[in-house]
Chains A and B, each alone.
Chain A
Amino acid sequence: MPVFALVDANNFYASCEKLFDPQLRHRPVVVLSNNDGCVVARSAEAKALGIPMGAPWFKLKDEARRYGIVAFSSNYALYADISNRVVEILSGFTPNIEVYSIDESFLELSGFERVGYEAYGAQMRHRVAEWLGLAVCVGIGPTKTLAKLANHCAKKGLAGGDGVCDLTTIATTEQTGLFSKIEVREVWGVGRKISQRLEAMGIHSVQQLRDADAETIRARFSVVLERTVRELQGVTCLDLEDVAPEKQQIMSSRSFGTLIYDLEELEEAVASYVARAAEKLRAQDSLAGALQVYIRTNPFKPEVPQYQRAVTVPLPEASADTRILTHWALRVLRRIYRPGFGYHKAGITLLDITPRANQQLSLFASGEVAQSRNAHLMQALDSINARYGRGTLRLAAEGVAKSWQMRRGNLSPRYTTEWDCIPSAMAR
């Protein structure tokens, strides 16, 4: 019988910010979304102050001053590096691991019963704390859905102890009591809408959903929710997805820091999104057969003139070449651009993605030599950018000034990914 663990980091983004900055100890810290809009992560101190998730930062200025809340722009470079380190540590406990998100991983633990799952979970927790200074919680159960629920129990201190909750050791009668106390919306995969419908049916607690008739749930909701019910009953329906499926489309889009009126600036933005998406495309060794470009004004400002447009073009030949993709993206952009509007967002999507190995050559293809030369050039581009930082080498189309770049007013240093940003230590 499989046994799953869900390990997730507490207040992950906020904890990363605190890691290298001694002035932030015991201070409430929040991390803001792109363009410094809303709160996307809170430290324990900020949670204790009642700062809600998703709150717009400009509405919190008073609280911020009163309580000394420190706000950071999202420092993805830092979070990604720390996240990779957590995954590396967890991989030392079992080879069967699914990285579910930047701060959550599922582990399959069958075979470790001799150690005792709870003790094993405690070891993971201690190692991550000692090696990285981060707190994680561990939930253990016979299905992924139960492991996620156990994690919730560990985090809220409902069951288990010291940040680890192992449902496999909790007796059924005790579980019934525990699950009766937890609201149904805490179940993995039960969103706000579904929980409202469930509550209308009289299903309020996890226990009630567990006791529900799976067939009825299937008929009234979906097979997905039926699977959730079975998983709550302890029937394994979901396995680890150990290999992330290759992306069928790659998107790159951002809101701009300030509105853009100029075609030239839009071109720079779109070219840089293409560069980013093409890099991802090459990282999975694939080619794109089509691309879409879209631009739009700010729909939340209905008082200004609105315009939006998205156009998809098939490429004459599947490609992962930044130059070719940029050429086509800019052609589309020039066609859909209308002057006189203040553009708030632009994006590109690479579509019709196929592995390079399955490449269908066109009758009038440019020939193997030219293609392999181009591939070499792109390889050089990627390795230079990987080594010296993204955007070191780029097409001139991406521009130099980047006035359109998103607002990240309070970005902490990239402590672990740039030599110029490593923390200093005082010898004074």
Chain B
Amino acid sequence: MPKVALQAGPCSGVFVPLAGAPRLELPLDQVRVSAGFPSPAADYEDKRLDINEYLVRNPVSTFFFSVEGDSMQGAEIFDGDILVVDKSIRPRHGHIVIAFVDGQRLVKRLYQRNGRTALLAENPHYPALEIREGMELVVWGVVTGKFKRFGA
């Protein structure tokens, strides 16, 4: 906090500030002057595009998972991609899902037809994972999108 110093000048009763006393700068960067015509674009101002809006339908129930491996490349899901997972969507046959099986977090396509439940890969090198009696399958959420950042 600056100290204000006062000193009696040559004529008694007149005060002059000491050299080096604090000065109040004019706040130029905060003075706004409006001049000229209003912008003709003002009526057309739109909100800038927001990627959240595009990828996330229900923010409260949306979570992100990172992908490890290449078994889903047929569905355009690659190693290192980040998945958008919406837990509020009820999983159905054909959805790409995050599933908990046998202590593992998997990303697979859910197959549920004719009494058969399986998790399918989208890569011929990986077999389907059949869910048999006594196995526990938790379909954690439905994958609704993905994104990736390049190292540029």
On A, residues with C-beta under 8 Å from B are: 20, 22-23, 25, 85, 88-89, 130-133, 316-317, 362, 364-369, 372, 415-416, 419, 422-428
Q: Which of A131, A367, A422, A427 contacts B88 (CB 8 A)?
A: A131
Q: Which A-B residue pairs are the 3 nearest by beta carbons? A: A427-B69, A22-B100, A131-B61
| Contact yes or no, B103 A130, CB < 8 A | no
C-alpha gap A422/B141 in the complex (Å): 15
On B, residues with C-beta under 8 Å from A are: 1-4, 22, 24-25, 27, 30, 58, 60-61, 63-73, 77, 79, 82-83, 87-88, 90, 98, 100-107, 121, 126, 136, 138, 140
| Contact yes or no, A372 B87, CB < 8 A | no
| Contact yes or no, B66 A425, CB < 8 A | yes
C-alpha gap A416/B64 in the complex (Å): 8
> Tally of A-B residue pairs with Cβ under 8 A?
98
| Contact yes or no, B60 A423, CB < 8 A | no
| Contact yes or no, B100 A25, CB < 8 A | yes
Q: Which of A88, A415, A416, A422 contacts B82 (CB 8 A)?
A: A422
C-alpha gap A125/B9 in the complex (Å): 79
| Contact yes or no, B138 A423, CB < 8 A | no
CB A132 to nearest CB in B, in angstroms, measures 7
- Of chain B, the residue at the smallest CB distance from A87 is B60
C-alpha gap A20/B25 in the complex (Å): 55
| Contact yes or no, A424 B103, CB < 8 A | no
Q: A22-B138, A422-B82, A427-B79 are in contact. Are A132 and B61 (CB under 8 A)?
A: yes
- Of chain A, the residue at the smallest CB distance from B141 is A133
CB-defined contacts of B90 to chain A, threshold 8 Å: 130
Q: Which of A316, A365, A426 contacts B105 (CB 8 A)?
A: A426
| Contact yes or no, A369 B27, CB < 8 A | yes
Q: Which of B1, B98, B100, B104 contacts A316 (CB 8 A)?
A: B1
CB-defined contacts of A364 to chain B, threshold 8 Å: 1-4
| Contact yes or no, B72 A427, CB < 8 A | yes
C-alpha gap A127/B105 in the complex (Å): 23
| Contact yes or no, A25 B136, CB < 8 A | yes
CB-defined contacts of A133 to chain B, threshold 8 Å: 87, 140
- Show 10 residue pairs from A and B whose CB-CB distance is below 8 angstroms, ordered by the A residue: A20-B105, A130-B90, A317-B1, A364-B2, A366-B2, A367-B24, A425-B68, A427-B67, A427-B70, A427-B73
- Of chain A, the residue at the smallest CB distance from B25 is A369
CB-defined contacts of B101 to chain A, threshold 8 Å: 22
C-alpha gap A144/B98 in the complex (Å): 39
CB-defined contacts of A422 to chain B, threshold 8 Å: 63-66, 82
- Of chain A, the residue at the smallest CB distance from B27 is A369
| Contact yes or no, B27 A423, CB < 8 A | no
CB B152 to nearest CB in A, in angstroms, measures 17
CB-defined contacts of B24 to chain A, threshold 8 Å: 367, 369
Q: Which of B22, B64, B87 contacts A132 (CB 8 A)?
A: B87
CB-defined contacts of A419 to chain B, threshold 8 Å: 64
Q: Which of B68, B87, B136 contacts A428 (CB 8 A)?
A: B68
CB-defined contacts of A23 to chain B, threshold 8 Å: 103
| Contact yes or no, A366 B1, CB < 8 A | yes
| Contact yes or no, B107 A425, CB < 8 A | yes
A-B contact sample (9 more), CB < 8 A, given A20-B105, A316-B1, A425-B66? A22-B105, A131-B87, A133-B140, A369-B30, A416-B63, A416-B64, A425-B98, A425-B106, A426-B105
| Contact yes or no, B63 A428, CB < 8 A | no
C-alpha gap A419/B148 in the complex (Å): 12
CB A412 to nearest CB in B, in angstroms, measures 14
C-alpha gap A133/B106 in the complex (Å): 17
CB-defined contacts of B138 to chain A, threshold 8 Å: 22, 25
CB B21 to nearest CB in A, in angstroms, measures 12
- Of chain B, the residue at the smallest CB distance from A317 is B1
Q: Which of A22, A316, A367, A428 contacts B69 (CB 8 A)?
A: A428
| Contact yes or no, A368 B27, CB < 8 A | yes
Q: Which of A25, A89, A365, A425 contacts B67 (CB 8 A)?
A: A425
Q: A130-B88, A364-B4 are in contact. Are A426 and B104 (CB under 8 A)?
A: yes
- Of chain B, the residue at the smallest CB distance from A324 is B1
C-alpha gap A317/B2 in the complex (Å): 12
CB-defined contacts of B61 to chain A, threshold 8 Å: 85, 131-132
CB-defined contacts of A20 to chain B, threshold 8 Å: 105
| Contact yes or no, B88 A22, CB < 8 A | no
| Contact yes or no, A423 B3, CB < 8 A | no
CB B49 to nearest CB in A, in angstroms, measures 20
